[in-house]
Amino acid sequence: MRQIDHFISGGSPAPTGRTHKIWNPSTGEIQAEVVLGNAATLEAAVAKAKEVQPAWAATNPQKRARVMFEFKALVEANKQELAELLSSEHGKVVEDAHGDVQRGLEVIEFACGIPQALKGEYSQGAGPGIDVYSMRQPLGIGAGITPFNFPAMIPMWMFGMAIAAGNAFILKPSERDPSVPVRLAELFLEAGAPEGLLQVVHGDKEMVDAILDHPDIPAISFVGSSDIAQYIYQRGAANAKRVQAFGGAKNHGIVMPDADLDQVVNDLAGAAFGSAGERCMALPVVVPVGEDTADKLREKLIPAINALRVGVSNDPDAHYGPVVTPEHKARVEGWIDTAEKEGAEVVIDGRGFNLQGHEDGFFVGPTLLDRVTTDMESYKEEIFGPVLQIVRAKDFEDAVRLPSEHQYGNGVAIFTRNGHAAREFASRVNVGMVGINVPIPVPVSYHSFGGWKRSGFGDIDQYGMEGLKFWTKAKKITQRWPDGNEDLGNAFIIPTMG
């Protein structure tokens, strides 16, 4: 059986004897196993990172950018291989896996401009003979703990900015689909990066805790569930680390009475069911405003959802594939059970879905639930599967309130032709990322990504200039070059610039 090992320069420490199985979600077969590490594994990676990072930080930004450019070219040249490898372990269809890789590459493209991004500020003559300037310097060693649902994009979001800024980086990917992160590290080394600059360690909670407690890792980025995000933020902060921890989501799509319902249905089909709903930026809750809008939308949704094709990950005609593990399939179907018991109407039922010839695969059929209310646990919590819930709003105020009061505040979208309504909604809604007639409002790479409330812990977002701030610290210098003729004044009084 294929075994996936750590990617640590100089070799791995003594094996722990622990492994984790890697499924093929389309067939239900175990296709590989990944070696799980511990604190000793991490220590080996940290030792190598400490050895190589100072020289990398001293490398001028232009040369660091050239490595990023070369890495970008290598990923593009190997994109098909990466997409197929990703699909085989995650289950998302190959075309969707291409998007996973591409959105990560867009952040690498931004990181290629690191010489411009790292330029500091300068003020000449801030006081008599005094100049003030600032610079951004790397923190040292960064760590990333990434989820199963985007094994290419999110690692590149993290290590692209961290390494371009002058840090070394240790990546702990999900143990469910670890092959793509390892392959990215191999390509980064091939691009000309020093050995030990980007390393990959595998593990479970034992490895996570080792990262959180290690004194030589000053900054940690995480994406995953909200409970774990909160745990990582609190434990990391208690250890005086800089932490950004992004959690779950329950994104709402507000449908105003004037919306183009055909376009809304098309957008919802992709946003709710693409990647089997295993996306923190999926749109699993649609909020039609008014009963008439709700009835018309439901009428159009039913044939569109019934027309969705569920298939194996390499089926070019499939709209989405299986979920990642048998446990996750049971969890999603359990939430449909819960919603039905709570009083939701199961309009389209995806439980017990079987794909002919792949009966052991982890497939969940597309599911539509109506008459969902805010007191239902199935509404409050993240289902993370191909399930769309209809929550009917009385009016615009009700539509603003629903996502604003939800425990998650990752993303939200409004569908309307009314510019005033869209502007008012975007201004007032208590959510971190807003789409206006855009169902999945993930910002482009030169902005930044981050949700609010239990969707995000920490003060600084991912990638863009926010990402640069997270992976660097600002140094401020005030300088004076006296010519010997100045009145030195009173040395016991705090200096001013006036």
Which residues carry out catalysis?
Answer: 280
Contact 281, 246 (CB under 8 A): no
Contact 349, 324 (CB under 8 A): no
| 3-class SS of residue 327 | helix
What's the CA gap between 476 and 350, in Å, rounded?
58
Q: Following DSSP, what letter does each residue of 394-454 receive, concatenated?
A: SSHHHHHHHHHHSSEESEEEEE-S-HHHHHHHHHH---SEEEES-SS-PPPTTS-B--EET
> Which of 457, 448, 459, 441 is closest to 252 using CA atoms?
441
What's the CA gap between 176 and 221, in Å, rounded?
19
Q: Which residues contact 58 (CB under 8 A, 6 or more apart)?
A: none
Task: Name the CA radius of gyration of the chain, rounded.
Answer: 25
- Tokens, residue 213: 């407690």
Q: Which helix (H) or strand (E) is 159 found in, with range?
A: helix 153-164
What's the CA gap between 256 and 293, in Å, rounded?
8
- Tokens, residue 174: 């999900």
Contact 181, 207 (CB under 8 A): no
| 3-class SS of residue 198 | strand
Question: 180-190 burial, b if ≥16 CB within 10 A, otherwise e?
Answer: bbbbbbebbbe
What's the CA gap between 155 and 172, in Å, rounded?
9
User: 130-138 and 472-480 as β-strands: parallel, antiparallel, unpaired?
Assistant: antiparallel
What's the CA gap between 452 and 467, in Å, rounded?
16
